[in-house]
Structure 1
C-alpha cells in the first residue's frame, strides 16, 4: 500500500511537475505571438496587446473592464471578494458613481455589470457589446462625431463566441476598437 502511494506520487510529480509544464512551454515556443499576448505593432511601434487589457481613462476612449491588479500583467488575478464583502460592495458602488458622473444621461440600472466588476484574471481585454454601446454617447460627444457612426463601428468590431459555442457572445476587444476609433476620428488626448 505504501509502495503504491509513493509510486503514484512520483508519477504524478513527473507528469504534472515536469512533463505538463514542458509541454505548455513548448507549445508557447511554437506560437510565440499568441503566448506573448498577441502584440499589436504598427509602423514599428507597440500599440498594446490584443489578449491583455490595458487601462483607458480618457472620455475619448472606450473604457476597459475594471482590473483588480491595476492592469499589471505580471500579477494576474481577481480580488476574490465575495458578493457580500463590504470592500467589494464599496468598490462597485464607487465605480457606479464614477460611471454616472461621466454618463449623466444614464441610470444606475442601465450600467452593464462588466463595467463595474473585474474579471477573474484582472486582464480581460474584452467588454460586452452592451458596455460598448453604453459608452457610445459619451465618446461621440467628446469627439464631436455622429453617434450612429460610432455604434456601427462598435457593431463592426463585435466578436462571437469561440466556434459559436464557447464563452460569451457579442464581445468587443477594447484596444482594437479604440485603435479603429482613432483611425476614423483622431483623439486629441491619449488614454
Structure 2
C-alpha cells in the first residue's frame, strides 16, 4: 500500500478548491436586463399588420410613432373600410387613391408591470372620421374603433404588441348592415433606432 503524503494531499485539495472557485454562484448568468420605464415606449416603430375581416386576411408592414400617451398613425389602414362602403372593386380602388393618407391617433394609458418587465397599455380609441368620394359625391364616414385587449410594450426586446377592431361603420349617418368586424392585429412591432 502506498503512502499518501501531506504535500500530495494539499495539492489535491488546492486543485479541487481552484476548480470549485471557477463555478459561478450567481443564478443570473444571462445579460442584465434593465427594468422597463414609461419613457421606453417613445419612438418610431415598424410592424406587421394583420387585417382580418370574415374569411379575408391581408398582411402588410406599417410604420407608426409612440408618444407619451398616443400611438400616431401617419397612414391608417383604410382599405377594408373603403371596400366595405364601396362594393365595386374598381370604384373602391379609385376612392382609396383619391383619399390618400388618413392620420389617426390612438390614445392609451400605460402602467408598469414590474413582475413581467412590460408596460401594459389600455386603449381609448376615438371615432375615425373621413370622406369617401363615390361617383363625384363625398360620403361622410365614421368608424367606431375598439381595443378590447391590453397592449404590451416588452422591456426585454423593446417591442410593442397590440390589437384593435373597427366595430361599426356609418356612412352619412346610416349604419352599414350587414357588417363584419375588421380586426387589426399588430403582434410584433420593433422600434427603429
The normalised TM-score by structure 2 is: 0.27
Structure number with bigger Rg? 2
State the TM-score, normalizing by the size of structure 1.
Answer: 0.27
Greater percentage in helix: 1
